[in-house]
Structures are given as C-alpha cells and as structure tokens.
Amino acid sequence: MQSLASFVLFAVLAAPALAQTPTVSLLIDNGFPSTGTISLRSVLDSVAARKGATFHFGSTWDTSYSSAEASWTTNVYNTFFNHIVAENGCKWQSTEPSRGTSSLTQCLGVQSYAVARNASFRGHNTFWHSQLPSWLPGSVTASDLVTNVIPQHVQQEIQGMGSGVTSWDVVNEIVGDGVSNGMTALQCVQNKNDWPTKTADGSGTNLVTDLSFVHAAFSTALKYAPASARLAVNDYNTGGNDAKTACMFQVLADINANAAVPYNRLAVGFQSHISAAPGQFSAKSDLANNFAKLAALGANAMITELDIKLSSATSANERYQAAIWGDYLDACLYASNCFEFINWDTRDDLSWIGASGAGTLFDTNGNPKPAAYEVAARLQRYASGATELCATALGTSQCTVPAGGSTTSSSSASSTSSSSSSSTTAPSGPTGCQSAEWGQCGGIGWTGCTSCVSGTTCQTSNAYYSQCLP
Ligand SMILES: *[C@@H]1O[C@H](CO)[C@@H](O)[C@H](O)[C@H]1NC(C)=O
C-alpha cells in the first residue's frame, strides 16, 4: 500500500504533450520550506554524520569577482555551500603562463577564500585542451609533452596547492563525442578531435597516438597529491546508459592498469551541464547504476559541474529544474561513494551559460530559486535518516531504487510491489517491529516498522517522514 501511495504521488501528472514541461512533485510542496533564508551548514554536518564522511556541497568562485559579487558570494559560502572550486583560477592558462613558471596566485587565492569560509577546496584542473597558456600547444612535440611538459605542470600545480585539496580533475574532457559502445579506452580518447590527441592546426593529424599523456598526468598526480585526494577524469554528457559513459569506465580501467593508480584513489567526475527538458538529463536510476558500478570497483563518483539550463524561467520550468536537481543530489547522497557535489556557478548572472539560461540555484538578484529550497529539503531529509525517494523528475516508472535503499536491476524496478520486496537493506517489515527512539516510523515510501519502542510515539514531521519521538 505504501508503494501504491508513492506511485500516485510521483507519477507525472501532466499529459506528456510535446514541449510541455512535466508537472512534478517536490518536497517543498510537502512540508519543507519554500521561502525564507536557507542555512545549510549545520544540515551538511548532519549529512556528514549519516554518510560517515564530509559531504562537500559546493560551487565556483574566482579572485576576479567584483567587490559587489564577492560580498554576495561570501554570504552564500558562509551559509549555503561548504565547498569551493575555482572556475578559472587553477587552469593551465593561469597556473603556468610561461613554460616552467609556476603561477598559483589565483588558484591559491580561491583556496584561501575557501579556508576563510571554513569550506573545502577542490582542484580543477591539471590538464585540459582548452584555456591553455599561449606557449601551448605551439610546437611542443608528442614526446616532449608526455615526458616533460605534462609531468612538470602536474607536479608543480599539485605540489604547490598542498594538502588542502579534496580532489583533482587530473584530466578534463578527453573522451570524444562521437564514441560508440564497445570502444577501447584508446578509441574513446582518439575520438576526441582536440589537442593533444590531434595536432592543434585543425588538420586532424594525430599528435599523441596512445594514452601516454593520460598516464603521465595520473602517475604524476598520484605521486604528488595528498593521500586523501580523489583523482578524477572529468567529462560532460555522461551519467546515462550511453557510449560516452561506457568510455569513462574504459579510460578509468586503463589508468588503473597502465598508470598503476589504485581504484580507491580514482574517481569519475560527471560534469552534468544539462537542460530541464525530457531526454536532456540522466535518469536518476542511470546515475545510481553508474555510481554503484564505480563503487563495485572501489572508485568514487562525483557530480562536478551541475547546471540545469531552462528554455525560459517560467514557474513550471523552475519546478522541473528543482525536481531534476533534487534527483541528481539524491543519487549522490544515497550512493556509498559520492562525497562531492558541485553546482556550477552560484547565481544566474554569474553563470557561464548566461543569465537567460537560468541554470543555477540563485536568481540574478541572488535570491534562492525553487531548486535551492528543494536541494535544502533533500539534504535535510537525507540527514534525518529517511530512505531514498524514487526519481521525482521522471515518475515512478523510472525508479530503480526501492524505499529500502538498495539499487536493483531495472528489470525488477518497474513493478512497485517487487521493488519493495527486493530491497535488502530495508528494516524487517511493518508488522511486529518497532523503530528505535529518533528512528523513522512512517512517511511516503517507507517500508519499515511503523510503531515505536515504548516511551516514544510516532509523530509526523512531513508527508515523507515520521519519527519516533520521546
Ligand atoms: C567548520 O566546519 C566544520 C565542519 O562543518 C565544523 O565542524 C566546524 O565547527 C566549523 N568551524 C567553524 C569555526 O565554524
């Protein structure tokens, strides 16, 4: 019966007419705040307590911000985010303007800003084909690049930034967009039509003809990065059940095998520059499956650059955006190996996609949008100990994670009755059991005990969560 209630609530309510924004159900419709100031720092501490490790919930910053921008961001980083990445300040262009010269002023500036906010810092990035210094690609040969240039750059940047880095994007965007299933790691990377796989003259000529540049970057990163830092391959258009995501696994396996980087140091960064339109984002179930596959290897998953572009900032689109944001966040929160979730750019007018894309959590006046309240609600709900929700942006038919929390195969997922019985981690059952003090005892999707140990009573916090309170 609980499953049925959940099905009704999460079903897409509007007829999926073409170009019509799906109507979604949100936590902010069901007892969680949708107005007012949002304070997340203590919620994030509670999320960390449940996860057993810090949950890094962040966004971008750069030393180039105006004082007006910086005064708003300072408030948002003191209260909302607990994690910061430089949008530009740590890229090769900024960090090695002439060959052999280490110039970490901007990158260190962002790290110091993070420290002053009591926030953590992640490194983005040591290798990318774009935003290069003017001396690159130039006339550097393949062997000079692999033997000298990349190791020197990766070493001086990673060493220079020291221990206060949670993760490094060691290589950024090295997989092609025209890949197909079954490609080897080399084929995946050779499919990329950019330097250094190709020469920089646009002729399509191969420059580095193997994966030695990737291995050079990773073996250097492994040597100089702090032992706790996750070392990532970071890319866009990934996270679904698709060929590019399959390539990420191929590349990761190759790095593990040929650069001798243990899986427990490796991560895939799912950039997630997506749009709030059907088919323009990954199903939560696909994200969950990819994260679980990485967990099975011992590797980490992270959402590194999430923004969700809108065709226009209508209320229906903003609600759809909130649902997708919530689903991406839940996919990470409920994964055993996802500890970093970065929202790319803090507010719409600071976003690289432009204010009209309305792709961030805060509007051009700096006010929280429905997505900001929804992510606050998802964090709060997770911190309270509640079990995982189905995807709200896609409806229950897409849900492969039953209320008990274990990921199931998609074949068993579409039936609401089998999904609750296939759970392996749900509490033993609704009859004859009692939840402990502070434990959950009800709410939509809950399949565990619905009565409480003596001395406590089951009280409804909101539609999704009831708790045994003394
Ligand atoms: C800094 O953040 C940590 C983790 O959230 C928290 O435990 C600590 O109290 C904070 N320190 C200050 C000075 O706010």
Residue with the bigger pLDDT between 397 and 315: it is: 315
Between the CA of 117 and the centroid of ligand 1 the distance, in Å, is: 9
Candidate of 50, 118, 120 to mutate for ligand 1, largest count of ligand atoms within 8 Å of Cβ: 118
Which residues, 6+ apart, have CB-to-CB distance to 201 below 8 Å? none
Closest approach atom of ligand 1 to CA 82: 5
What is the C-alpha to C-alpha distance for residues 469 and 452, in angstroms, rounded to an integer? 9
Q: Are 324 and 286 in contact (CB under 8 A)?
A: no
The pLDDT tens digits for 359-412 are 999 999 999 999 999 999 999 999 999 998 887 776 654 443 333 333 332 322
CA 337 vs CA 53, 207, 361, 413: distances in Å: 10, 36, 24, 22
Given a cut of 60, whether residue 5 has pLDDT beyond it is no
Report pLDDT digits (tens) over 110-129: 999 999 999 999 999 999 99
Q: How far is CA 383 from the centre of its chain?
A: 18
Return d(Cα 169, Cα 183) in angstroms, integer: 23
Give the confidence band of 432 by pLDDT, cuts at 50, 70, 90. low
Angle at 216 between CA 258 and CA 211, to 5 degrees: 60
- Which range (235-239, 255-259, 277-281, 422-426) has the least confidence? 422-426
- What is residue 243's three-state secondary structure? helix
Per-residue model confidence (pLDDT) at position 445 = 55
pLDDT at 389: 84
pLDDT value of residue 465: 65
Q: In what order do the strands lie in the sheet with 457-462?
A: 440-442, 465-469, 457-462
For the full predicted model, state whether its pTM sits above 0.75. yes
Give pLDDT tens digits for 165-189. Answer: 999 999 999 999 999 999 999 999 9
Q: Letter for the amino acid at 139?
A: S
- In the reported structure, the alpha carbon of residue 406 is separated from the centroid of ligand 1 by a whole-number distance in angstroms of 32
Task: For the beta carbon of residue 453, count every other beta carbon within 10 angstroms.
Answer: 15
Three-state secondary structure along 57-97?
EEEEECCCCCHHHHHHHHHHHHHCCCEEEECCCCCHHHHCC
Return the residue whose CA atom lies nearest to atom 2 of ligand 1: 118
Identify the residue whose C-alpha is closest to ligand 1 atom 5: 45
pLDDT in tens, 96-108: 999 999 999 999 9
Closest by CA to 413, choosing from 394, 393, 396, 430, is 396
**What's the token pair of residue 355?**
């204010």
Give 44 Cα–ligand 1 centroid separation in angstroms: 10
Q: What was the pLDDT predicted at 406?
A: 33
- Determine the Cα–Cα distance for residues 331 and 375; give it in Å rounded to an integer: 12
Could you identify the atom of ligand 1 that is nearest to the CA of residue 118?
Answer: 1
Residue that has been written with the tokens 């033993």 in this structure: 428
Which atom in ligand 1 lies closest to the alpha carbon of residue 45?
5
> Which DSSP state fits 263?
G
Average pLDDT over residues 57-85: 96
Q: Average pLDDT, stretch 191-201?
A: 95
Atom 3 of ligand 1 has which residue's CA nearest to it? 118
- Rounded to whole angstroms, the Cα distance separating 16 from 6 reads 20
Task: Supply the pLDDT for residue 459.
Answer: 80
Residue 392, amino acid: T
Distance 436 CA to ligand 1 centre (A): 29
Output the residue whose Cα is nearest ligand 1's atom 6.
45
- Residue found by looking up tokens 């003596």 in the block: 454
Q: Which atom of ligand 1 is nearest to the CA of 44?
A: 5
Q: Compute the average pLDDT of residues 416-435.
A: 38
Q: Nearest residue CA, atom 11 of ligand 1? A: 118
DSSP 8-state secondary structure symbol assigned to residue 89: T
Which ligand 1 atom is at minimum distance from the Cα of 41?
A: 5
Main-chain phi, psi angles of 456, to 5 degrees: -130, 160
Instruction: Please tell me the predicted confidence (pLDDT) of residue 10.
Output: 34
pLDDT at 340 over 80: yes
Mean pLDDT of the chain: 87
- Which residue lies with its CA nearest to atom 10 of ligand 1? 118
Coil, helix or strand for 368?
Answer: strand
Pairing of strands 440-442, 465-469: antiparallel
pLDDT tens-digit readout, 253-277: 999 999 999 999 999 999 999 999 9
pLDDT at 466: 72
List, chain by chain if needed, residues with CB within 6 Å of any ligand 1 atom.
Answer: 45, 118
Minimal-distance CA residue to ligand 1 atom 8: 118
118 CA distance to ligand 1 middle (Å): 6
Output the CA angle 150-151-157, nearest 5 degrees: 90
DSSP 119: -
State the distance from the centre of ligand 1 to the C-alpha of 41, rounded, in angstroms.
Answer: 8
Which residues are 59's β-sheet partners? Answer: 84, 343
